[in-house]
Chains A and B, each alone.
Chain A
């Protein structure tokens, strides 16, 4: 327990400071956009209606979708600007998160401000005109000061929303307190999940109180209170700004990881090998499956591990299925020519999508292959991870075996295993390298029609680092060095409910067990 907590505390400065910087930037930008909109909206009903409708509409888009949608948008804009001005900007990480959160922050500020100004006592507005104020003077000397307390209340709501939603920036590649939550959920580490939630809540509360102090100062005409609140807020942001300077150091190598245990372990293994060669390394974990490759191709990552089948279907959009060796060769050539990405080589194990059942039930029903399963499928319930049913592998399975289940449900992987073990579903989509297959006594159904392509784990290098001697020297020894049994054991160390290890500890163990040191 203590060890879990101390591992969480070690990364706190990094996670918290990035979370603070992202939220503060989004709020500042949101305020800068809201104020002119707000003024235009109070001056004209024709502006007011569409502006409020649009802001409300944005608010109804789920946070994680809004964050994700900025990725293709920015990617398009980036390639456009690349073509026009020779300038590319990153489509992952800070920028999409900032833009999405900024949009999120607008509505409460806008709505409160408009309500406050439109509900001002008409006698006061008439007096403002009567004493000879111009429109601008009326706005600055009367309307804004009187609307300020309610505007601040809107800003407080925005701040709480933004700080909460910023945890969702993790999957698009922006480090935040969400890393605790996503990683914790993945490796079933509730201490991390709770820790992440707790820090996010505390941050939101503190920010809310400081903004409340400013609100109080403005409302009661006690400018000192407002200044104290503002000073403390700025101090917090400045402190957050100072942290990354020391923890990040010089921009070095960036190792990426998708959002599951094996990826964390391998990223840690790769990272420690680069570090051992004396170069600074940063990890960017919990990347969405598609984002990881894009980030690598855009040189935002230096290296990460992906799987041949995934690259074949999702990146190259191929549906044919050549033999293993030829697929690898094709992949290497295609990734290089299309994206400049270097496929360094396979690690030596496969992490394929498989269908798994409880051993006892499979035996009772006499199911050993997916063909057996297809006959009984209309009676059975299927559980998949969040992306499984949208993936081409599932479509190929469905098509080739004619699979039709009684019901279909998606789970976050940790809960998918729980659902299988508690009998809520009968079949799940598992990963062949998952330690839980052995630990939970699951049986993996055979795929005699080869509907699912091979999924050899391979190391990919970014275009910029393709010929990097340091990286190649550090990572070459990993090629072919990790057998499936060791990977399963390492995964299970992280995933098992009791006696958990951190991904870094599992990576150390793996390095020793594979004689890599």
Chain B
């Protein structure tokens, strides 16, 4: 379980807060989507968990252990991290990219090789790609490698920051669905930041809505779609429903003709 307890972060010495007194609990094996406008603090919130950002106040705990007490590199080796920029190492082959964290941890080479092959199968890419360089892959393929790399050292927590943001809609949908399958199959705990509310509704068990550094709504997609006292949250959640209705209307029109 991930627990954020009264976490605050400012980048300008307290004049404004990217995240202000946020508390959140993510039980094991849940898939939580964090949505909100850009600047609402969702990425900052995510990065306090693997200490890419250190909060000024509050505590972050993983399984009741304070992350502050763990060396950042050791902490990050236990947590998968995927982000929009992907950041594959351009000078390393795909196999080296996927195997980097196990290698840092010190796994024996044969075990790393086996794990790399297992993962490339898992993200549905041909093994022939293992010897290639990242530049030789398409954007969608690169993001699959990004996910494989994050999973390599068998973390049970995955932090994803707009993981599919730069991909075309079809690849994005496919990857989303495939990742959800991995999440379930590997018993992961996933925290995913996205600005795509439809993606959040379709993939997550729970949606957290942020605005100006604070959580304004937190619930299962079904409940939030049914309505919320906050007008912004209502507008936000209305969008996928309205889109779905329009699509349905179009289909019915087609059927009548």
A interface residues (Cβ-Cβ under 8 A, vs B): 121-134, 137, 141-142, 145-146, 221
Contacts and interface: CB of A to CB of B under 8 A. Distances in A.
Nearest to A142: B89
Q: A-B pairs with the 7 shortest C-beta distances? A: A127-B87, A123-B85, A132-B77, A130-B81, A123-B87, A132-B76, A134-B73
Interface in B63-95: 72-78, 81, 83, 85-91
Given A124-B90, A137-B104, A145-B91, A131 B85 contact: no
Nearest to B71: A134
A131 B104 contact: yes
B86 A131 contact: no
Contacts of A146: 90-91
A124 B89 contact: yes
Contact of A133 (B52, B73, B83, B86): B73
Given A121-B85, A127-B86, A131-B101, 18 more contacts: A123-B86, A124-B88, A124-B90, A126-B83, A127-B81, A127-B83, A127-B87, A127-B89, A129-B73, A129-B76, A130-B50, A130-B81, A131-B100, A131-B104, A132-B77, A132-B105, A142-B91, A221-B133
Contacts of B144: none
Contacts of A123: 83, 85-87
Nearest to B84: A123
A221 B92 CA distance: 9
Contacts of A141: 89
B42 to A, nearest CB: 16
A170 to B, nearest CB: 43
B142 to A, nearest CB: 11
Nearest to A125: B87
B206 interface: no
A130 B83 contact: yes
A123 B88 CA distance: 8
Nearest to B149: A131
Contacts of A133: 73, 104
A123 B166 CA distance: 14
A196 to B, nearest CB: 42
A346 B89 CA distance: 75
Interface in B123-167: 133, 149-150, 153
A137 to B, nearest CB: 7
A132 B89 CA distance: 14
**Residue among A121, A124, A146 with max Cβ neighbours from chain B (10 Å):** A124
Interface in B197-254: none
A131 B91 contact: no
Contacts of A125: 87
A125 B83 CA distance: 12
A354 to B, nearest CB: 69
Of residues B87, B89, B149, which shows the largest number of chain A Cβ atoms within 10 Å of its Cβ? B87
B125 to A, nearest CB: 19
B73 to A, nearest CB: 5
Nearest to B87: A127
Nearest to A126: B87
B90 A131 contact: no
A6 B17 CA distance: 80
B157 to A, nearest CB: 13
B76 A130 contact: yes
Contacts of B73: 129, 132-134, 137
A248 to B, nearest CB: 45
A130 B76 CA distance: 6
Contacts of B100: 131
